[in-house]
């Protein structure tokens, strides 16, 4: 277990609740938190700042993590929560509300439930999706997405479970399994992990809209693959993708078209290993940030994210 000064951590949380003028439930808070809150109330007779929704969510995350003895990494700040925020839930696709006390409200949850509250392991989703996900792991979610699980449904549609599986697979830390070669059905959350095949699809989706971008990307991809025939078929698939994007409501649904997906998979699985760095470099121009072979140490997976 990671060493943490529990009393000081609790005191600091209570102190910040007082500093921002937030009300703390005395009945469900530990003595260290209450001690910090009382000291903060004495020190800050008038709240020093009016918290926005990111500060409020940060305070609540810290308190919830402390109660569960989960690590909340110091890099998780209100500014970080603002960075990963989004307007539409990537699972249900609904426009999220704020403080409406409804299932459409925004929430922040860990992607891998066995990890800490740390950068890369947090995402914004609506309350409905968060409640449905609960304590489920990736393998549970993929079963629900396939419709093979007993009592499939459980709060989300089959398609919504499939979107959640896309989000979770990169954080699942699966070892000894085949690479993920499924369609990318939703936006990859900001700062989260994703399989290379998903990043590859994301790049093609973004670049497909404009002919100049399509041509530029395809020229670069042709240089990475020895088979001109497979690259030509891939080019046709990307052209098909561009056409579908003009009529489809949610762009990622176009990637589930088998006429698009099959050539992508064939090109990807036959690409030489020596071309992977070049593909990563190309993907970085469309949002991919870094390549990690394992989840970050900050997730503390060996300790289930606990202190």
CA 165, CA 183: separation in Å to the nearest integer?
Answer: 11
Token pair listed for 257: 């078209």
Query: Is the whole model's pTM more than 0.85, yes or no?
Result: yes
Q: What tens digit of pLDDT does each residue of 127-146 get?
A: 999 999 999 999 999 999 98
Identify the sign of the CA torsion 156, 158, 161, 167: negative
Decide: 196 and 205 in contact? Cβ < 8 Å.
Answer: no
Element (H, E) at 262: helix 258-269
- The answer to whether residue 220 scores a pLDDT higher than 90 is yes
| H or E element in which residue 50 lies | none
DSSP 97: B
Q: What is the pLDDT of residues 142-174, one digit of tens each?
A: 999 987 665 556 799 999 999 999 999 999 987
Using DSSP, state whether 72 is helix, strand or coil.
strand
Q: Which CATH number fits domain 53-61+68-179+300-307: 3.40.30, 3.40.1000, 2.40.360, 3.30.40?
A: 3.30.40
| For the chain, domain boundaries | 1-51, 53-61+68-179+300-307, 196-284
Span 222-251, mean pLDDT? 97
pLDDT of residue 150: 57
Joined tokens for residue 222: 């042709």
């Amino acid at each position: 277990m990671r060493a943490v000064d529990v009393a000081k951590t609790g005191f600091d949380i209570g102190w910040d609740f007082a500093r921002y003028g937030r009300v703390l439930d005395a009945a469900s808070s530990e003595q260290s938190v209450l001690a910090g809150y009382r000291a903060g109330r004495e020190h800050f007779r008038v709240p020093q700042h009016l918290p926005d929704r990111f500060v409020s969510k940060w305070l609540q995350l810290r308190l919830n993590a402390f109660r569960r003895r989960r690590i909340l990494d110091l890099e998780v700040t209100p500014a970080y929560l603002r960075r990963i925020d989004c307007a539409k839930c990537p699972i249900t696709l609904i426009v999220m509300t704020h403080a409406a006390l409804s299932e459409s409200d925004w929430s922040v949850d860990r992607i891998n439930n066995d990890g800490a509250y740390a950068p890369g392991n947090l995402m914004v989703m609506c309350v409905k999706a968060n409640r449905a996900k609960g304590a489920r792991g990736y393998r549970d979610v993929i079963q629900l997405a396939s419709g093979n699980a007993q009592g499939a449904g459980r709060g989300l549609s089959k398609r919504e479970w499939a979107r959640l599986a896309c989000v979770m697979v990169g954080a699942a830390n699966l070892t000894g399994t085949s690479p993920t070669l499924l369609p990318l059905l939703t936006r990859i959350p900001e700062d989260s992990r994703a399989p290379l095949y998903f990043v590859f699809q994301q790049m093609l989706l973004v670049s497909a809209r404009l002919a100049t971008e399509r041509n530029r990307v395809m020229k670069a991809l042709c240089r990475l693959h020895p088979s001109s025939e497979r690259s030509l078929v891939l080019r046709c698939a990307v052209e098909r993708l561009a056409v579908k994007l003009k009529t489809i409501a949610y762009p990622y649904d176009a990637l589930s078209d088998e006429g698009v997906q099959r050539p992508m998979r064939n090109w990807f699985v036959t690409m030489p290993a020596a071309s992977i760095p070049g593909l990563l470099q190309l993907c970085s121009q469309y949002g991919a940030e870094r390549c990690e072979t394992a989840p970050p140490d900050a997730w503390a997976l060996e300790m289930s994210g606990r202190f």
